[in-house]
Amino acid sequence: MEHIPKLFLETTVFNFYFEGKQGQKQTAAIRLFEAIAGGKYEAYTSDAVMDEIKDASAEKAEKMKALSKEYSMKVIQSSPKAKRMADIYVKKGIIPLKFRNDALHIATAVVNELDFVVSYNQGHIVKTKTMIGTGFANLREGYRQIGLSTPTEVLDYD
């Protein structure tokens, strides 16, 4: 049986889906959601992402929440295990304390055995230092390394 990759969608992917500029990032975000609808991927997000979505304008926040429902995304609750891993990433200097939520997004995907965190956050998530650092931390804690990728990288993965 073929493995269907499990994707954790971070806030920026929802955001770019509704980006008004019709740029390459928006196109890739839309293509990713279409691939999810087509059964190519299983989509997940978290309560932490849903909380971040509330920070958008009311209208955009409603659209982003509707998107998660429309694509039947499973919303994972941030567990004590995920919070512990996020703290490890911060303590080891992989992700700055100020951006602990980014660490929590990765940790939630890791402890729930997902395959990729999909994000446009190239400051703290989709970054070589973060991939290497979280990979080592995950292995030390008994978890596997997962992909930290942009929608384009995931779509081009095949």
Using 50, 70 and 90 to split pLDDT, how confident is the model at 10? very high
* CATH code where residue 91 lies: 3.40.50.1010
**Within-domain flag for 91:** yes
Q: Tell me whether residue 73 is in a domain.
A: yes
Number of structural domains in the chain? 1
The pLDDT assigned to 158 comes to: 60
Q: The pTM is what?
A: 0.94
Residues linked to residue 76 through DSSP beta bridges, in sequence order: 46
Beginning with the edge strand found earlier in the chain, give each strand of the sheet holding 116-118 in spatial order: 74-76, 42-46, 6-9, 116-118, 147-149
For 93, the domain range is: 6-155
Residue 4: predicted pLDDT: 93
